[in-house]
A and B are shown apart, each in its own frame.
Chain A
């Protein structure tokens, strides 16, 4: 018994963790934090005035505004269609359901440049059905909808599977119709998942680049998004100006990330005992 107790006490409670912690911190610092610190630190290299004039130039403001707007629209559409598709995948039964379920992840697996080319093949100048939306704001929306498709679906699906059917049956037996059951019983349970999926989709949409490159035409003041604007600044050898806009994007991403954590805690508030 003594040896057992000794062993248990001597067992390093956090030792595999300790090695892991050291390696993780080092790796993240080198790979992730150092480069990001460079963006933040060097964005003001030309002075605060230069930073401000880079961020407030007409083209930068227009690109940032369009990015925010189109990302918001993408997020709203995703919240609705994502919930709908999750519903179909969980509560409906039809042939080929498992294939559809597997295909939902395709936008994550498909390279973004291929996603853009794919949309262009159907909705571009060479469209077999004669629909050409290439180089319009709608094309950007289409690309963003494509790459953010899985987020809300994959967030809502597990919650819907776990959802207690008895609550719905009780509501139905008390005379509620299907609409009331959905709005008053099911939807409130799904809201945290919908919000966190939508927030992830928003964060992704704000920074998206690959799928937009080919389809947007990058027209300043019209279809130019923030990431394309940054790319052009780098190409015209203005990395410091590019860093200034990047800081704005980074700040946005951080706010969204913190928001998601808050949502997660709010969604799990009843789980804590």
Chain B
């Protein structure tokens, strides 16, 4: 029994030590470095015109990408959970593609379609090095989240209640709004939280297509990189701390939604 206990404590120390060295201590250092010059400096650094513009661009892009992917995600999950059709396995595989593809390749793909000499290179408005390109890149990388969270919930819930509603004369919309949506709402919420975090944090794909014009096409993550490369370490840490706070808020939201999702 004591040998077992010794093993247990040894393994615990090993695992937690690994987590501390890789995850917790580095993040602690960033927060320490951010706030060692006082709150005022941090505040000044995240309220420069470039920072405010970067933050609002990030929020705008997220506000476009997440609702679109949520609508798509719920519809796609309905098709996957309820529909019977050929090519379902293929559809499933395509949805996972954005998880498995390098963000740089995503950016490159958009350049090859919408850039100079691309398939759709002569649209009347600019896509690459402009906001539409950033939006498209962000939508691409956040496609799978809502689908992947909602499909299992739909399968679990089953469609008996929808059938009952249909026999009682409910229309498709009525049945969707009053039966289906309420039963999957926590799954949707979880997917939305994951999507928001991913959209705000996207760097690689956006970095390729944005052109990084300060005040115009610079997102918050790109600002972190630029400040770091301009030797503005304190500024980079401040912007990072802001992003890290968003990430921690995401984790909090996830831990609050998760148990409810299990009851639903």
Please list the residues of chain A having a beta carbon within 8 angstroms of any beta carbon in chain B: 4, 7-8, 11-21, 23-25, 27-28, 31-36, 38-39, 42, 81, 84-85, 87-88, 92, 94, 98, 100, 102-114, 117-119, 121-123, 126, 128, 142, 145-146, 149, 178, 200, 203-204, 206-210, 213-214, 226-228, 230-231, 234, 239, 242-243, 246, 249-250, 253-254, 256-258, 261
Closest residue of chain B to A214, judged by CB? B228
Report the Cα distance A34→B113, complex, angstroms: 8
Cβ–Cβ contact B113 & A108, under 8 A: no
**CB-CB under 8 A for A178 and B100, given A21-B85, A24-B72:** no
Q: Does B187 contact A (CB under 8 A)?
A: no
A91 to B178, CA, bound (A): 41
Name 26 interchain pairs, CB-CB below 8 A, sorted by A: A8-B166, A11-B167, A17-B81, A19-B78, A20-B78, A31-B143, A32-B98, A34-B119, A35-B109, A35-B110, A39-B105, A85-B18, A87-B11, A102-B251, A109-B201, A111-B247, A113-B224, A114-B201, A118-B27, A178-B7, A203-B99, A207-B100, A210-B204, A214-B225, A227-B204, A230-B105
Q: How far is the CA of A210 from the CA of B140 in the complex (A)?
A: 16
Residues of chain B at the chain A interface (Cβ within 8 Å): 4, 7-8, 11-12, 14-16, 18-19, 22-27, 29-30, 33, 72, 74-85, 89, 91, 93-113, 115, 118-119, 136, 139-140, 143, 163, 166-167, 169, 172, 176, 180, 194, 197, 200-204, 207-208, 220-221, 224-225, 228, 233, 236-237, 240, 243-244, 247-248, 250-252, 254-255
Q: Which residue of A lies closest to B223 (CB)?
A: A113
Q: What is the CA–CA distance of A116 and B235 in the complex, to the nearest angstrom?
A: 15
Partner of A230, one of B14, B24, B100, B102: B102
Is the pair A149, B203 in contact by a Cβ cutoff of 8 Å?
no
Taking the closest CB of chain A, its distance from the CB of B214, in whole angstroms, is 16
Residues of chain A with a CB closer than 8 A to B106's CB: 35
Q: Which residues of B contact A102 (CB under 8 A)?
A: 251-252, 254-255
**Which B residues are in CB contact (< 8 Å) with A257?**
93, 96-97, 100
How many angstroms between the C-alpha atoms of A141 and B96 in the bound complex? 25
Find out whether the CB atom of B240 lies under 8 angstroms from the CB atom of A18.
Answer: no
In contact, B97 and A32 (Cβ under 8 angstroms) = yes
A254: B residues at CB distance < 8 A: 100
A219 CA / B194 CA spacing, docked (Å): 34
Q: Is the CB of A110 within 8 A of B18?
A: no
Which residue from B4, B96, B103, B254 sits with its C-beta under 8 Å from A209? Answer: B103
The reply to whether A38 and B22 form a contact with Cβ atoms under 8 Å apart is: no
Closest to A4 in B: B167
Alpha-carbon gap, A13 to B236, bound state (A): 54
- Asked whether, in the complex, the Cβ of B224 is within 8 Å of the Cβ of A18, the reply is no
Please determine whether B93 and A146 come into contact, CB atoms closer than 8 angstroms.
Answer: no
Q: Are the C-beta atoms of A210 and B103 separated by less than 8 Å?
A: yes
Closest CB in chain A relative to B227 CB, distance in Å: 10
For B7, what are the chain A residues with a Cβ–Cβ distance below 8 Å? 178
Whether A92 lies near B224 (C-beta < 8 A) is: no
Most B-side CB within 10 Å, residue of A39, A113, A142, A203: A113
The smallest beta-carbon distance between B221 and chain A, in angstroms, is 5
How far apart sit A4 and B84, CA to CA, in the bound complex (Å)? 23
Could you tell me if B201 and A117 are in contact, using CB atoms closer than 8 angstroms?
no
List, in ascending order, chain B residues with CB within 8 A of A117's CB. Answer: 30, 224, 228, 236-237, 240
Interfacial chain B residues near A16, Cβ < 8 Å: 78, 82, 172, 176, 180
Are B33 and A121 touching (Cβ within 8 A)?
yes
Contact B102–A209 (Cβ < 8 Å): yes
Residue in B72, B105, B237, B248 whose CB lies within 8 Å of A250: B105
A124 to chain B, nearest CB (A): 10
User: Could you tell me if B26 and A111 are in contact, using CB atoms closer than 8 angstroms?
Assistant: no
Contact of B75 among A23, A33, A119 (CB under 8 A): A23
Q: How far is the CA of A22 from the CA of B223 in the complex (A)?
A: 39
